[in-house]
Chains A and B, each alone.
Chain A
Amino acid sequence: MVVNNIVAPEDNKELQVIIRKAISDKEKLLLKENLELNAPVLDEKTVVLDLVNLNKIIELDKDNFTVTVEGGINFLELQTLLAEKGFYFPMDTYASGHASLSYNVLHALPSYSLGEYGNYREYVLGIEAVLFNGDLINIGGKNIKNVSGLDIIGLMIGSQESFGIINNFTLRLLPLPEEKQVVICNFKDIKTAQEAALQLTNKGISPAKLLVVNTSGAQLLENTKITKSPLLIVELEGFKASMQRRVDMLQEIVMPYGAPCLIMTDNTEIKEVWNKFRENQYQLLSKTADLISFSGFYTKLPEMLTELDRELVKHCPAFTIIINSLIGSGMIIPLGKVGSDWHEETSKIMDEYQGKSLDKKSFKEPGMGIVQARLKAAFDPANISFFGGEKV
């Protein structure tokens, strides 16, 4: 694809100038990360925003546990820098190594730690943003709680670039956990892996990450010590004093399933495992347009996943399933060309188990359609957002 019009603003003023120009010239605008992840079809008038120059850490406030940072900073780089100083920003997504903080937040990309560590809104305390009406706004600050009249920050998170671009964030940080361990267990099928995951969430072990993957998903780890079968991947973190008991509790749960476990205690090894997992997932995602994101009820997931894993083979010989079992949400990534019934079959199975496809808009209700159109007009009166308020 030829992309002519990539612009990389140096600061917020320049970003504002670009957006104002797009308004007056009726150009469409989107973030550069979309080129890899969403394969949009662009015309020569589309402006592609690259936030690469907006990558400075402005202030690390050690007293208040906040960091103020420009939105173009690479997500993973930010986490690494913070960890070196003893701070923790627990959001971690498949695009961490590739996408800017702004992209991750504006698209509310699913963090592996969603569930234990809440969602982006709990960590984004303040923003500076250039809206698609051309205004540069500043909202929030370093306050953990803020209900000063309508939550615009919350509305911007996940707005998928339909309202404006956040160019500056103040983030809430946590203390870096004393200790981390990763336990990876081999299960005979995805059903039992998911059953074990559900039991774990009820045990008070509070895993930071709790993923289940199908056999094909096991390859994302590229780890020779791990047998390829459906896996339960558990990251435990917290105080040293309770770590051994957490691991014991976990083993007690998986033992009846006869699932052998590999325990990783070395931080470098753990980092390596996640780097591989993230990177491989990202690569798979950048190659497909047929991704299915879904959520389900904890209690129905074991059966639903079993059926998905069994039936979808008929429509695509290989696909990876990854579930964040803390929130009962996951994705199915086809590894090749899918048959014409791929989406239909998935919907049928999900309906049977009251699962939900996550690309449906809540705005399908008639009343909300009007609300959405008015909301969009408030932020983007000239309709310069490439996505036009619709899903990619």
Chain B
Amino acid sequence: MNSKQINYLKTIVDPKNICTTKEELLVYEYDATLLKGAPEVIVFPETTEQVSRILTYAFQENIPVTTRGAGTNLSGGTIPDQGGIAFVLTKMNKVLEIDFENRVVVVEPGTINQELQDMLTPHGYYYPPDPASMKACTIGGNVGECSGGPRCLKYGVTRDYILGMEMVLSTGEVVVIGSKQQVNPDPLDIVKFMVGSEGTLGVFTKLFLKIKKVSEAKKTMLCTFDSVKDASRTVANIVREGIVPTTLELMDNLLINCAEDFIGLGLDRTADALLLIEVDGLKEELDGQVEVIKKVCEKNNVKGFKIAQSAKEVDQLWTARRTVIGAVARKRPSYSMQDVTVPRNKLPDIVEEIVNISEKYNLPIGVLAHAGDGNLHPLVLFDERNKEEVEKVHEAEFLICKKALSLGGTLSGEHGIGLLKKPFLDQEFAPEVLNLKRKIMLAFDSKNILNPDKILEVGK
């Protein structure tokens, strides 16, 4: 971008919302992956009108625009690898409307997920999508990725809670799709299609979200196993018994120890795997479900079965789960995380393969999984400065993805494709499907300026 272009941007937004120094640009080269790519300018819009005017200009000038929330995505989805504008929406962070009676909330995209939850909790409501990164990530980013979270086995993912939105198209046109009501007026559901579009189809400027009443009661269980296989078999068996828990999370031995080093809860460090299980509903329903879950666990050689006795204990277990990704930083300087998802009964197979791959490449790989959904986050630990090791990480991850696909799985359950998984996409989809996706992207963004060539190579 030239100085004339950057100066023009300064006529649209307050110049204090434009950054161009080398140090500032450096900060936006990254997201939560190890990929890098520098923007030429960082712009923080504050209003829909500014978003619209900037896109109008970018469209006219063919400037790439990489939309960004908190940048916590794990797919390289906000790396401005083609330069241009890093379009950071964090200053559009107001909760504009909370209507408890109609169960709808209107937010600007930069609203932090946890901050919204904090406003709802005292009134007995919540917004179900709860990614482990909720203290930092934005609702706009959640919609961009169709984020999930531990409770999405029972309550669904971001897509299921977006009623409508105001969005700006690549040409700068502002459109409102869907509505604040619970049904989309149009059966062709473009609203839902925008969810998971990874910043490639439009920039959301307002989001209409559905909220839910908090259940009357819940029970949280901690189960430990001597083998990951037993734990993963337990997962499939619980659902087979007719129970849909809110949460069915799995951690392997490496991660149990990381969590324990970090917050010291007294978790069983010798256990090969841990399951965190939660059920909710009316209070009379819970004991029966807990009993069935216990029996299933016993059938699968559970080592320890514990029901959390207090809200404090529940909180501690959740803190262990939510912080474990950060906690691995104590083991090795770098980590890389995949997001493969397999049919639930294939969990033991994929876990076995991950263990084999870990041994073959001599790389520690922790297994963290939203196991009820068959969604695994194998965390490969390594040292980024060791080029040989980095090469091995790429190979190991490719094999994990390949195995997941061979088991009928998918590359991504909730983190999206971005740049990280783009090279693998043709392993999952036939050329005609990729072609169709390309055409759809061009239908929305004819000049391919929005997060250009993320997900797949689109070209002009």
Contacts and interface: CB of A to CB of B under 8 A. Distances in A.
A139 B434 CA distance: 11
B430 interface: yes
B342 A329 contact: no
Q: How many of chain B's residues touch chain A, expressed as a range?
A: 35 or more
Tell me the interface secondary structure of chain A in the complex.
loop
B183 A64 contact: no
B182 A367 contact: no
B456 A149 contact: yes
Nearest to B215: A204
B181 A328 contact: yes
A149 B440 CA distance: 11
Contacts of A245: 282, 284
Nearest to B433: A137
Given A152-B436, A241-B288, A362-B190, A147 B183 contact: no
Interface string A225-261: 0000000000000110110011000000000000000
B402 to A, nearest CB: 14
A365 B414 CA distance: 30
B282 A367 contact: no
B388 interface: no
B455 A371 contact: no
A299 B409 contact: no
Contacts of A198: 101
Given A63-B345, A327-B182, A378-B440, A144 B374 contact: yes
Given A143-B374, A149-B437, A245-B284, A158 B244 contact: no
Contacts of B345: 61, 63-64
B240 A62 contact: yes
B432 A135 contact: yes
A151 B196 contact: yes
Interface in A121-178: 121-122, 131, 133, 135, 137-152, 154-155, 157-160, 162, 174-176, 178
B439 interface: yes
B13 interface: no
A108 to B, nearest CB: 5
Contacts of B188: 155, 158-160, 162, 361-362
B375 A145 contact: yes
Interface stretch (A38-46, A210-218, A352-360): A352-360
Contacts of A107: 187
B197 interface: yes
A296 B181 contact: yes
B344 A64 contact: yes
A108 B216 contact: no
Nearest to A374: B443
A326 B210 CA distance: 13
B343 A143 contact: yes
B181 A329 contact: yes
Contacts of A157: 189
Given A176-B242, A368-B175, A371-B443, A148 B411 contact: yes
B177 interface: yes
B208 to A, nearest CB: 12
Given A158-B188, A242-B284, A295-B182, A63 B196 contact: no
A176 B416 CA distance: 32
Interface in B341-388: 341-345, 370, 373-375
B415 interface: yes
B8 interface: no
Interface of B: 101-103, 145-146, 148, 152-153, 156-157, 159-160, 169, 171, 173-193, 195-198, 200, 213, 215-216, 236, 239-244, 281-285, 287-289, 341-345, 370, 373-375, 408-417, 421, 425, 428-430, 432-433, 436-437, 439-444, 446, 455-456
Given A358-B185, A361-B188, 13 more contacts: A63-B343, A137-B432, A144-B374, A145-B374, A150-B197, A151-B195, A152-B433, A155-B190, A245-B282, A295-B181, A329-B181, A362-B191, A367-B173
26 contacts: A61-B343, A63-B343, A137-B436, A141-B343, A141-B408, A141-B409, A143-B343, A143-B410, A145-B157, A145-B341, A147-B414, A152-B440, A155-B188, A158-B189, A178-B242, A241-B284, A241-B285, A246-B282, A297-B102, A298-B101, A363-B190, A365-B173, A371-B169, A374-B439, A378-B439, A379-B436
